Structure 1
């Protein structure tokens, strides 16, 4: 039994893949499933079948493989284990195969749909495809694997539009044209828009414009113009049109010539009496026809006239200066000898006055300011009170000197003697044997005047004293303190005891002159008046009629500074460490005083002061301070003159968190076709600092390798010109991975260019709209396909040489013109073109013919000169009975006029001119010389 079980284990290992479908009923002859299982040695499947419900087993585990083949496991639960032995099962675990559901699945597109119709607005068309299998579980998406879901390509858009109506036939080009109005412009090589179409036409007379008028002939009073036919490829058609439509080619009309005058020229000098100057101008051109006539006032063509001229004033010379002693002013005059006219220079002043003192004044004193002129000073009385006399003067010339500085009042010290009043009577004799008398000082002496005398006198009133004394001695010096003086005498005989003593000394008052001390220093300037004072004292006062004391006080003006407010506090130091204070003016300065309103102190001190630290700024992300925030402070006050110094640290840095910042992923790099893997990277734009978010991976990989990359270039067969298709084959360059399968055979359209035959030459047209054109044609050998080169035009016209062909019959000769010419013409069937010969075509012939002289019988004016042997003017005068002495007996020739006519008149000069090598067709004229009826006829054959 054990042997069979071992064999069963071997069988289990061999056939486990089919165990899930094993059924005990398949073993014939034995119905006990447990027994069968033991015989077979395959217990786990049997137990799984016996207990396959959720009642006995746990749920299956997840598949062990997320992609591909794996296993799932389940276990017997409590109920299953309880019955395990009873039922003969000896397993507790069951397994089964499983397939992972997360295998990568690449996206797959459907086939391309057909290209959309071409969009005429953008010149593009598109086709698209859709996703039929989505990318799952990391599989490649369709755009990265197969490209975009839609494609756009350029497509050809042909030009579309409408033609306008044909224009009227141009008289300049003899063509009519029409234009193409575009409603759709071509794109991407589509059929181009046609240009303007033109065709030949026959213009009417009115559409062929006239050229400019010639200069008006001053002799004939006419001017001419001719048709403005350009000498180009249109000349022949325009000339033929003019002839066929019988259009006039020359227009002669009368013209007006105005009188032409030269510039005005003076014929004399300016007339001082009238202020006019005569002018004349020459006639350069007399008027012709209705031109403006000469010497006509209404047309401003007078040949003589006048114009105003400026006459300056003229004056006589100045008279001598005459001084008026009553006014002090001198006057001089001049007179007008010529009054001004027509804005001539004015006369100016006719009279001048000035101060008599300046008539003959020379030298620097003449420029000094003048003062008023006064009469002699008149002194007033000397004031006994002030010792000053007042002097006055009068202005001699108050009118002249009004406003000039003038001093009419002055004071000066004066000298007065003292004046004494009369003596009083002698008084009574007093106890001392004396008697007195007095007198008053009426006025004191002034400035050195005679001083006052004594005001008191005494005398002895006892005879004995007078008899016993010698005469009095002279008065002694005046005592300056007491104002007295003494005199003495000696006693001859001393008085007896019983007698009154005699007076030996006598005292009287005496005049004491005032004596002054020196002046003291000037006092402080009075800020209100601008006056300062100095004083002196009286050292000896005046007494008893002595000279009075002069003033004890003197004053003078002084500079007063302005009155100002209090000084403001000193300012903070400025950039130069200077402080400033100011004040405002209250009252102005006086007498030139200063007014200091601002003071600077360059020595003021100040401590350095700084602001508070600023709020930290943004986190710095690079450089030496990366990962920090900067705070700053500024110096608000600078250190000045010894103040506290400023700190050195004006910025500081504190840590901050910075998250890592990565760049966007680069596009995946080139695919490594060996591994079919491509890489993309990203760079660290900002490293992380401190607690900031850290950086993630900087490299990423994904599967790659499209068919275009692992398949070789297609080798294409030759293009099938009938179908426009070629076949390409390729091989694998690298073994495909990731379930990729590629198409190695393709078919695609190919470009087939148009092939055309050689050009076949047609007939050269000589007439009609295609004259001078030759048709060439060719056919298509291979038609273009798939945008191949288009075939181009299958027919074209090219210029061909056409020789001129003339008709057979000449017209009759025309009448002889006033210039002595006749002409005739011949029709041209078709002109030479594109370098063809004109030798066979002579469009016009011309010959000279005789022209008789024509004289106006009334005026004798020659109206027509004799030409080419016609009747001379002398012969014509004889026929009219006019004296013929002044008329010519000669008939001139038209040969010279013929040459000028050829060069100036196209209808005479040529039949056809064309560009591109076409030659000129010249004129043949016939000229012969013969004598007819006594007149000279000049004929001459010339080929020009």
Structure 2
């Protein structure tokens, strides 16, 4: 016996059996088989929860049993790493036995005669030396429409008393049509009695129970039986503990981070599947997320006023400065220039005034945050007393150490 059943809505999780032997060594059927089922992964989809979006696995993986540590968001996850819990149980129980168990030749002629007496023999050309079981019920018609089909019955050769006399066929076929196509009055299905109710699906509270029956014989016209073979019913075990449990869906995948750089938050949700009054669990979770730091651009102060011209006559220049308030970080925009110069032009200088060369620049008045430096040019010789005012000592000032402290 083999079967496979899907664990919906997952597209590739399933449970089932493969090649389970229901025969005994004595050529009979086992009375009862009980097997716990664990989930298997067909390897065609990469979702980790029942509600994950379909995402085909490329290349396809091998079919394998799931484990409790496959993924933290898996419904089968066990943080302690224990064996996975069975998700289903299959119970196969023999409910009836019809016909012979095996094609066994009886030991004595008396046994053969007794078998013949018990069987309902039909009028045919079967030699008396061929001993058969009774014919099985007719199968359902191979056609479900009014097109011609056929149905089959079969019997088992139990003994051949004279090997020189051939035994005829063990299968018989008959033409038929689908349900409602025969002009004759159709016969009814022959059903077995209902099997007793199964145990309640819960040990406390409200659950479900079921019972089954099977088709003993199909209608003679080859039609299918329309009677149902299974019934279900509610059952209650101990009314005092009957409550509606809080049912929640698995958590969704985490959302994208709320920012594209730096620190943000992300969220995930789950849905309520039962009465809200019975549930106090949270339906949304939020956690911090950290991405690479955001770029920081350089910040500059405002420009200072223009300085006085560095000369009292002729051509000179004047300057203005600004300071760096914030250095660039993480790839931000670099700092622009912090000093600007422009020309200044005064009246022509008298050649009668002679000066010494410029002195060296003095030390900066501050180590950081913007200081100044000075240098001077002293008068070496005045030609006339009347040039006293125009022939003066000169002084220059400039900004220095403009970087922030």
Fold-level similarity (TM above 0.5): no
Relative contact order (alpha carbons < 8 A, sep ≥ 6): 1 or 2 greater? 2
Q: Which has the larger radius of gyration?
A: 1
Q: Which has the higher helix share?
A: 1
TM-score (normalizing by structure 1): 0.14
